[in-house]
Amino acid sequence: MALGKDYVSQQCSMARALEVIGERWTLLVVRDALYGVRRYNDFLVHLGIPRAVLAGRLQTLVAAGVLEKRPCADTPSRHEYVVTERGRQLWWTLCALGAWGRDNFTEGKPLRIFRHGACGTELGVVGDCPACGILVPVEDVEMLPGPGLDPEPADPVSRALARPRRLLQPIETDPV
C-alpha cells in the first residue's frame, strides 16, 4: 500500500505543521536560514541538496510565510531568503530537536553551543536561559563552535558558520 502524500484527513495541528516542515531537507533549510544563510547557492553548497529539491523547499517555505524572498541588496537580480516572524517561531522546536540529537548521537561532543547573548549563559534544552529564566528569542542567541565541529570544514558556508556569531545575521563567506 502506497503512503499518502499529505495529512489533509488529519484533524491535528501537528499534521498541519508537517504539511509545511515535514519533508526531508525542510528543517535543515530552516535551520540554515536561522543560522544566517540567505542565498540559494549558499544553501546548495552547505546542504548538498539537489537543486530541484532546494527550489521546491524554498518555494514551499515562502508560500507558507516561514521565509520571505527578497532581492539581494548588493545584486538586485539575485534573491535572498530571510526568516519571517513565523519562521523565527520554529527556533525553539529546532533547539529542542538539536538538543535531542546532541544528547543521543554526538558522543558527548556537541557540534555547536548556543548562548544567551545578553548574559552569556548556555541555553537549556528548549532554548531557555537558566540564568534569566526566559525563552531566548532567536535574535538574542549566540552560536559558537562546539568540540565536535570540524575545525577545518571544506566549504565556505561551513567555515562562516564555524565562527562565533549571532543567529539571523547574514553569513559572510570567505572569497573563493
Query: Which position has the grid cell 524554498?
Result: 58
User: Band of the pLDDT at 70, cuts 50, 70, 90?
Assistant: very high
Going 37 to 41 to 44 to 47, the CA torsion angle's sign is: negative
Q: Where are the beta strands (DSSP E) in the chain?
A: 67-71, 79-83, 112-116, 128-129, 134-135, 141-145, 165-166
Four-residue CA torsion sign, 72, 78, 83, 84: positive
Q: 85-128, pLDDT tens digit by residue?
A: 999 999 999 999 999 998 898 887 889 999 999 999 999 999 99
Task: Map grid coordinates 549558499 to a residue.
Answer: 42
**Eight-state DSSP code of residue 40:** H
> What is the tens place of the pLDDT at every residue in 20-54?
898 989 999 999 999 999 999 999 999 999 999 99
